[in-house]
Amino acid sequence: MTPSPEYGIILDAGSSRTTAFVYQWPAEKKHNTGLVTEKYHCRIEGPGIATYKENPKQAAIAILDCLNRTLKIIPKERYSTTQVCLAATAGMRLLELQDKPAAQRILSEIEALFKTLPFNFGRVHILTGREEAIYAWISANYLKGNLVKRNNKQYRHPFIVRTSGALDLGGASTQIAFTPRRILNKLATPAKVMLYGHKYVIYTQSFECYGKDEAERRYLVNIYQASESKWPYQSPCWPSGYNETVSMKDLFGSLCTASKKPANYKPDDEITFTGTGNPAKCQELVYLLFDFKACAGKHYCSFSGIYQPTVRGKFMAFSAFYYTKRALKLPTSFTLTTFTETLWSFCTKSWAELKVMLPKDKDRYRKGYCFSGNYMRTLLISGYKFKPASWKRISFNKKVDGNEVNWSLGYMLNVTNQIPREIKGKENMIKLAILSKVLIVFSSLLMFSIFIIYQMIKHP
């Protein structure tokens, strides 16, 4: 009799939004790791939980609707064994550095809510950047079939293991993870992961303040500080015909820009930026967001003096990488030349043209695709050192076989490593009984053989 599947709930609390995922896997695991699939997901209305620092109770209230929906997805008899966890990423990492008590109050409110649910309380915590990168790598390789493959309803480890790298671009941070040919820097401690009975050694790196949203905030701050005229401030990465007014708090309220706060700072003062649609100037300003000088003279270095081995093999890019390529109407994989030409053309479009091209996109996303495209290009080429040949080996994905590509799937796979397997069914009990009988017979024969040999020695 096959046991019913197990379930788990993961809330991905990102910097710009939170998503609840329900995963399921057979109770009988393979090498102590569950074979996980996505059953359901729910986008939580509103911004990321870090924005509720003034009203932490609202962070818990915001996620309640999606949690109630999961009650209808998971069978009642599985409530008590279903772990519910929330893991927050860079938005909360930054808030914790800026105001640790505020971050803790938000987590405490959510934890209190979880403990009122009929599920098995797991964890409410903040992931490190390294953990986020590792889980993203696990997700990408699991979905690619690099960790375990299905063949004739049987799961087995691939005969030849070729893993894929993972590229994740969030709102407040960006991550890269891959298995290098070798790690040359003694100070670069690789991550070691055990999945499906096999060990993997991974290079990982996470960059705080280098997510798409925080990078664009730093870009606007640089324009504000460099402009001689006070009104309006020109944004070459935004389309011509687009204007946006932001408060000083919007610009300088983040830990990523707080150090550049002007002496006459007043949080409610407003600044207007107007788009000029200048792709050459956009590229120039985006390049300045990175500290490439810190890597001068170093062979294995991305930016900010951070060691990185040479990228190798295939890569899967997701999150904002995917949404940017989708806006540019590009396929899953494409050449660097195609991307560069398409991006340049896109960045010359007016606001009116973009509204026709992308009618379903919200204004705050539509106006930023030129910036994110140039940011993505600079990060991948000048930062991670992708060449035209290695660029072609990147696939830009949102889903694989119905499963969303993000770190939460890797997190769930890791959780299943820690959840005890359900008691085996009758079939496995029969196998155990047979094995026991074989061992008894073998032991008896061994003892008999020893007795015969002893008698032969004693009475030659």
Give the whole-number percent of the chain exceeding pLDDT 70: 86
Q: For residue 58, which of 68, 43, 71, 44 has the smallest C-alpha distance? A: 44
Find where tokens 């074989």 sit. 438
Domains of the chain: 1-126+406-443 (3.30.420.40), 212-290+345-399 (3.30.420.150)
- How far CA 112 is from CA of 57, 61, 82, 127, 244, in Å, comes to 10, 11, 17, 19, 39
Average pLDDT over residues 303-323: 97
Average pLDDT over residues 91-117: 97
CA 137, distance to chain mean position in Å, is 8
Chain segment 56-77, per-residue pLDDT in tens: 999 999 999 999 999 999 999 9
pLDDT of residue 437: 47
How much is the mean pLDDT over the chain?
Answer: 89
For the record, the structure tokens of 5 come out as 């599947």
pLDDT band at 440 (very low <50, low <70, confident <90, very high): low
pLDDT of residue 80: 96
450 backbone φψ class: left, alpha, beta (φ>0; ψ -120 to 50)? alpha
Average pLDDT over residues 304-313: 96
Tell me phi and psi for residue 122, to 5 degrees: -100, -95
What does the alpha-carbon distance between residue 435 and residue 439 come to, in Å, rounded to a whole number? 6
User: 165 near 178, Cβ under 8 Å?
Assistant: yes
What does the alpha-carbon distance between residue 202 and residue 185 come to, in Å, rounded to a whole number? 14
- How far CA 395 is from CA of 140, 250, 342, 375, 451, in Å, comes to 11, 34, 17, 18, 67
For the record, the structure tokens of 173 come out as 């941070």
pLDDT of residue 430: 30
Give the whole-number percent of the chain exceeding pLDDT 90: 77
pLDDT of residue 422: 45
pLDDT band at 162 (very low <50, low <70, confident <90, very high): confident
* Packed helices 100-114 and 56-73: angle between N→C axes, nearest 10 degrees: 30
Binding residue per annotation — 172?
Answer: yes
Average pLDDT over residues 426-441: 41
Binding residue per annotation — 337?
Answer: no
Question: Annotated active-site positions, please?
Answer: 132
Average pLDDT over residues 379-407: 96
User: 35 near 19, Cβ under 8 Å?
Assistant: no
Whether the per-residue pLDDT at 102 is higher than 70: the answer is yes
pLDDT band at 152 (very low <50, low <70, confident <90, very high): low
pLDDT of residue 433: 40
pLDDT of residue 128: 97
Of the listed ranges 113-122, 199-208, 451-460, the one predicted with least confidence? 451-460
pLDDT of residue 22: 98
What does the alpha-carbon distance between residue 416 and residue 36 come to, in Å, rounded to a whole number? 9
Task: State the pairing for strand pair 315-319/394-396.
Answer: parallel
Average pLDDT over residues 424-446: 44
pLDDT of residue 354: 98
For the record, the structure tokens of 435 come out as 């094995």
List the Cα angle 208/214/215 in 5-degree steps.
95
Average pLDDT over residues 385-397: 98
pLDDT band at 26 (very low <50, low <70, confident <90, very high): confident
Tell me phi and psi for residue 153, to 5 degrees: 65, 10
46 backbone φψ class: left, alpha, beta (φ>0; ψ -120 to 50)? left
Average pLDDT over residues 337-359: 98
Find where tokens 């890569």 sit. 315
User: 34 near 3, Cβ under 8 Å?
Assistant: no
pLDDT of residue 453: 58
pLDDT band at 328 (very low <50, low <70, confident <90, very high): very high
pLDDT of residue 283: 98
Binding residue per annotation — 416?
Answer: no
Whether the per-residue pLDDT at 9 is higher than 90: the answer is yes
pLDDT of residue 450: 59
pLDDT of residue 426: 32
Binding residue per annotation — 173?
Answer: yes
What does the alpha-carbon distance between residue 384 and residue 304 come to, in Å, rounded to a whole number? 12
Is 198 exposed, middle or buried, given 0-12, 13-18 or 19+ CB atoms closer than 10 A?
middle
What does the alpha-carbon distance between residue 140 and residue 137 come to, in Å, rounded to a whole number? 5
User: 31 near 16, Cβ under 8 Å?
Assistant: no
pLDDT band at 188 (very low <50, low <70, confident <90, very high): confident
Binding residue per annotation — 175?
Answer: yes
